[in-house]
A and B are shown apart, each in its own frame.
Chain A
Amino acid sequence: MIPELGHFALIIALGIAIVQSVVPIIGAHRNDAAMIALARPAAYAQLLFMGLAYAALTYAFIVHDFSVLYVSQHSNLLQPLVYRISGVWGSHEGSLLLWTLTLSVWTGAVALYSKHLPDALMARVLAVMGMISIGFILFMLLTSNPFERIFPAPQDGNSLNPLLQDPGLAIHPPMLYMGYVGFSVAFAFAVAALLGGRLDATWARWSRPWTTVAWSFLTLGIALGSWWAYNELGWGGWWFWDPVENASFMPWLVGTALIHSLAVTEKRGVFKSWTVLLAIMAFSLSLLGTFIVRSGVLVSVHAFATDPARGVFILIFLCLVVGSTLALYAWRSETVSTSGHFHWFSRETALLLNNVVMITAAIAVFVGTLYPLVLDALGLGKISVGRPYFDSMFALIGVPLLLLMGFGPTMRWKGDDIKRVRESLQLVFIVSLALGLVLPFVIEGALHITAGLGLAAALWVGITTLKDLFARLRKSRIPSLAYTGMVLAHLGVAFFVAGVTMVMTYEQEKDLRMEPGASYEMSGYEFKFLGTRKVQGPNYVADEGRIEVYKNGELINELNPHKRIYVEQANPMTDSSIDVGLMRDLYASLGEPLGSGAWSMRLYYKPMIRWIWLGCLFMTFGGVLAISDKRYRRSRVARREAELPAQAVAQG
C-alpha cells in the first residue's frame, strides 16, 4: 500500500510541476497577479509530494518490503539500517528520485527566500525549475519507476553493492546532487532573465548566492567521492579521470568560472551575456553528467546502471533543454547591453582570463571524456583516453590559472597601474619561487624541478592571498564575509596544489608477496606482516591482515586490511587499512592468499594526501562564508535597489 501511495505522490507531483511551469509563466507574460501568485504554493506542494514519494521508498527499504523490485534488488535482511536508508539512492531509480527531490528542495528554497524578488521574475524562475522537474518525473514514471512491484515477493533481497556500504559513499551522492541540481537555480535565473529581457547587476546579485551554495555542495560532493575512492577501491588513488568523475568535474569547472563571472557582473555590470551563457552551460553539463552516469554509455568502472532506453530519454531531454535555451539565448541576448567600461589591465581582465582558463580546462575534460563516446557511436572504433592526457593537460592549464590567482585579488577594478602591481607582487613571486624550489631539498634531500614548481605555485597563491588580507587588515578595514570566503577558498586551492604536488612526486607504491614474519621498508617506515585471521562482520566474513608499522624501530600502528566476502555476493571485496596523518598516509590492502599463509599485498606511502581534501574543505567553507555575507540578507535594500536602474547599482 505504501509503495502505491509513493507512486501516486509521484504522479501528483508531476501534475503540480505542469501547473507550476505553465501558469506562472503565462501570468508573468500577461502581468496577471493571480496566475503569478500560483508559483510559490505550487513549488511548496511539489516539494511536499516529492518528499512523500521519497519517504515511501525509504519506508519500503526500512521495513524490508521485498515486493518492491528496487528494494529487493538493493537490500537484504542483514543490511544495517543506515545502509538501508542510503540504499535508496544506491542505484538508478532511487538516485533519480533523490535527484528530483533535490530539485524540489531547491525550488522550495527559492520560493521561500525570494520574497524580495520582483514577482514576475520569481514566477519565471519557479516555472523554469518546474519544467526541469517535469522532465525528470516523466523519466522516472516512464522508464524507471522505483515503486515497481515484483510477484511473488522474494523472501530476502540481494545486497546493495558492498562497495557502496561506506559512510563516505552514503553521503556522497546527496552532496553531489545538491551541487548538480543547485546549478538549476542559476540556470532558471538566467532563462527567466532572458525571458523577461531584464538582465542587470541586481540579477547577478540574486543568482550569485544560489550559485555559490550549489558550487560549495558540488565541491564537497566531489571531494567525498575522491575520499571514498581512496578509502574503498583499494587502489590508493584519489582521482582516476574516470568518465563518471569527469561528469561531475565539468560542471564544477564551469561553475567555478560562473561564480567569478557573476562577481564581475554584480560589481561592475559587465560580462552579462557571458555570465548567462555560463549559467546555461553549468546546468547543461550537470544534465550531461546525469546522462553519462545514468545511461550506461560509458566503459567505466562506475557503470552501476546500464539501460539504453533510459539513455535515449535523457539524451532527448538534454537536447531539448540545451537547444531551447541556446535558441532563447541567441534570440534574446542582443537585448542585454553592457554598461561598464574597464581598462585592459584591471581585475575584470584577470577574472576574464580566469574564465578563459576554466573553460579551456572544461573543454579539455569534455574532449577527453566524450571523444571516445562519439567515435564509438559513429562506429569508428573503440578508444579510450589515457590518464596521462588529463594529467599533462592540467599541469599545463594549472600554470596560467595559479599565476593569475596571485594577481586577481591584488588588482583593482576598472584599471590598475602595472608598476604598482609589479612592486606589490615581485618580492612574493621571487620568495615563493625560491622557497618552492628549495622545499623538495629540505623534505626529501634532493632537488626536484616539477615538485619545486608545484610547491612554488601553492606558495604563490597562498602568500598573495594572505598578503592582500593583511593589507586590508592594516588599513583597519574589517573584511566582509564574502571577502573572507574568497580568501579561504583561495587558500584551499594552495593546500590542494601542495597536496597534489607532493603525492604525485613522492608517493611510493609496492605490490609484493609477503609471508608471515616478512617485512618491507618504504620511505623510512617498516611494514611487518604478522599473518591473517578470520573475522566476522554484520553481513560479511573476512580475512583480516595484521601488519605492524615501525618507524625507527618503534611500533607506531597496526594496520588491519580486510578481504571480505559479503553475504549474497560471490566475489571478495578489498577493504584497505590506512594510518592517517597530516603529513603522510600509510596504506595497506590485501591482494589474495598465495598459499602457506603468504598473501599478495599492496603497500603505499602517500605524503600530504590529506591536504587535497583539506583544500577542498577550505573551498567549500569559503563558499559557505561568502553566502553568509550580510549584503545577501538585506532583502529590503535589495528590493529598493532592484527598482533603480542597473547602472546606478553597478557604480555604487
Chain B
Amino acid sequence: MSELGYQKKGMSKRGKRKMVVALVLLGVAIATVLALTAFEENLLYFYSPTQIHDGEAPANRSFRVGGMVVDGSVQREQNSLAIRFDLSDNANVVPVTYSGILPDLFREGQGIVAIGKLDNQGLFIADEVLAKHDENYMPPEVHEALKAGEAANKAAQTLTN
C-alpha cells in the first residue's frame, strides 16, 4: 500500500491511527454521556393515587399515574375540550384534568394510565391519557395499585373495628 502517497507527508501512519482511535473514543464518550442524560431525563416513574396522597410523587417532573376512573366523576367543560375526572386505587383519589381527545376505551370504571405533572394544589395535569386497546385488559401497574389500595382499605377497616 506504499503507493498511497498521503502517508509520507504530515503525521506518521501510527500517529494518524492513534488520532483516529482517540477521536472514536472521544465520540463514544460523548455519545455515552448524552445517552445517559437523555435516558435519565426521560425516565417516567409510576405512582399510585395512594403514593401521591402520601406525598411520594415529585413536584416538577412528569410521571405516570394509574387507577380506575371513578364513576360519576367525569366532567366536561361546555365550550372546550377540557375534561376533569378522578382516578382511584380504591384507597385514595387523585383529581386529573386533561384537554384533548380521549382514547376510545376511556370510560368511567375503566383502568387507565395518565402521563403529566402534579400542580401545587394536588391536581394532576395530564398531557396524555392511555387506555388499552383491549377492553378486558388492565395495565399491570394499575392492577397492582388497585390491589395495594384494597389491602390498605381492609387494614384500615380492621383497625377501626
Contacts and interface: CB of A to CB of B under 8 A. Distances in A.
Pairing of A with B: yes
Interface of A: 161, 163, 234, 299, 301-304, 306, 343-344, 360, 364, 367-368, 371, 381-389, 392-393, 396-397, 400, 414-419, 511-513, 569-574, 589, 591-592, 594, 600-602
A386 B45 contact: no
A-B pairs, top 10 by smallest CB distance, nearest first, are A389-B42, A386-B42, A382-B46, A591-B101, A511-B100, A392-B38, A384-B44, A382-B141, A388-B42, A389-B38
B141 A360 contact: no
B102 A419 contact: no
Given A389-B41, A400-B27, A571-B105, 12 more contacts: A301-B133, A303-B134, A382-B46, A383-B44, A384-B46, A386-B43, A388-B41, A389-B38, A389-B39, A511-B81, A592-B102, A602-B101
A368 B20 CA distance: 30
Given A344-B17, A382-B141, A571-B104, A304 B133 contact: yes
Interface SS majority for chain B:
mixed
B42 A381 contact: no
A234 B42 CA distance: 25
B34 interface: yes
B101 A600 contact: yes
B45 to A, nearest CB: 5
Interface of B: 1, 4-6, 16-17, 20, 27, 31, 34-35, 38-39, 41-46, 62, 64, 76, 79-81, 99-102, 104-105, 107, 113, 130, 132-135, 137, 139-141
Contact of B134 (A304, A368, A393): A304
B31 A396 contact: yes
B3 to A, nearest CB: 9
Given A367-B39, A417-B6, A383 B46 contact: yes
7 contacts: A161-B134, A303-B134, A381-B45, A384-B64, A385-B44, A415-B4, A511-B99
A161 B137 CA distance: 12
A506 to B, nearest CB: 21
Contact of B141 (A163, A299, A304, A306): A299
Contact of B6 (A396, A419, A571): A419
A364 B36 CA distance: 10
Nearest to A591: B101
Nearest to A381: B45
Nearest to A574: B104
Contacts of B100: 511
Contacts of A592: 101-102
A393 B38 contact: yes
Contacts of A414: 1
Contacts of A416: 4
A436 B145 CA distance: 50
Nearest to B27: A400
Given A388-B42, A396-B34, A417-B6, A299 B105 contact: no
Contacts of A302: 133
B43 A385 contact: yes
Nearest to A368: B39
Nearest to A296: B140
B101 A385 contact: no
Nearest to A341: B1
B62 to A, nearest CB: 8
B41 A600 contact: no
Contacts of B31: 360, 396-397
Among A360, A364, A382, A385, residue most surrounded by chain B Cβ atoms (within 10 Å): A382
A546 B102 CA distance: 20
A569 B135 contact: yes
Contacts of A594: 76
Nearest to B45: A383
A392 to B, nearest CB: 5
Contacts of A163: 133
A343 B104 contact: no
B20 A344 contact: yes
A261 B156 CA distance: 63
A419 to B, nearest CB: 6
